[in-house]
């Protein structure tokens, strides 16, 4: 079975452009997470889906960030009117967790490196 895949792997955007980052989770995984990782830092939580429901979006830094998972599988993170401070690696992770309280494993994709010029 394939792991979590993300595309594109690298994205260069001019300031003000909109970008869309894609995540393909492991087949059958109900939970999907997005993280933002600045250079030399640990990842920071952005948002979490269980199936198609976005249960937590408290980490999204501004209303320019939007995530969706309409069919409970593939997810897209969209950033509107990109700014230089949006430059980071965006990681996606998926998990088979089916109920709260379990100690579940999260499997990470390779990330998309976004550079805003």
Partner 1 sequence: KNQVEQSPQSLIILEGKNCTLQCNYTVSPFSNLRWYKQDTGRGPVSLTIMTFSENTKSNGRYTATLDADTKQSSLHITASQLSDSASYICVVSAVAAGNKLTFGGGTRVLVKP
β-sheet bridge partners, residue 24:
5
Q: Are 57 and 47 in contact (CB under 8 A)?
A: yes
Q: Does 48 bind partner 1 (CB under 8 A)?
A: yes
Distances (CA, A) of 57 to 21, 32, 68: 16, 12, 11
Contact assessment for residue 55 and residue 45, using Cβ atoms and an 8 Å cutoff: no
The answer to whether residue 28 forms part of the interface with partner 1 (CB under 8 A) is no
In the complex with partner 1, the residue whose CB is nearer, 80 or 107, is 107
Q: Does 36 bind partner 1 (CB under 8 A)?
A: no
Our CB check for partner 1 shows the closer of 41 and 62 to be 41
Contact between 40 and partner 1 (CB under 8 A)?
yes
The footprint of partner 1 (CB under 8 A) covers: 4, 31, 33, 35, 40-45, 48, 55-56, 58-59, 91, 93, 95, 97, 100-101, 103-111
């Amino acid at each position: 079975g394939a792991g979590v895949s993300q595309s594109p792997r690298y994205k260069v955007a001019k300031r003000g452009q909109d970008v869309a980052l894609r995540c393909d989770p492991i087949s059958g995984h109900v939970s999907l997470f997005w993280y933002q990782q600045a250079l030399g830092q640990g990842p920071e939580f952005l948002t979490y889906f269980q199936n198609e429901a976005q249960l937590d979006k408290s980490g999204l830094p501004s209303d320019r960030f939007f995530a969706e998972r309409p069919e409970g599988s593939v997810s897209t993170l969209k950033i509107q009117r990109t700014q230089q401070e949006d430059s980071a690696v965006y990681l996606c992770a998926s998990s088979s967790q089916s109920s709260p309280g379990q100690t579940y494993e999260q499997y990470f994709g390779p990330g998309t490196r976004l550079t805003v010029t």
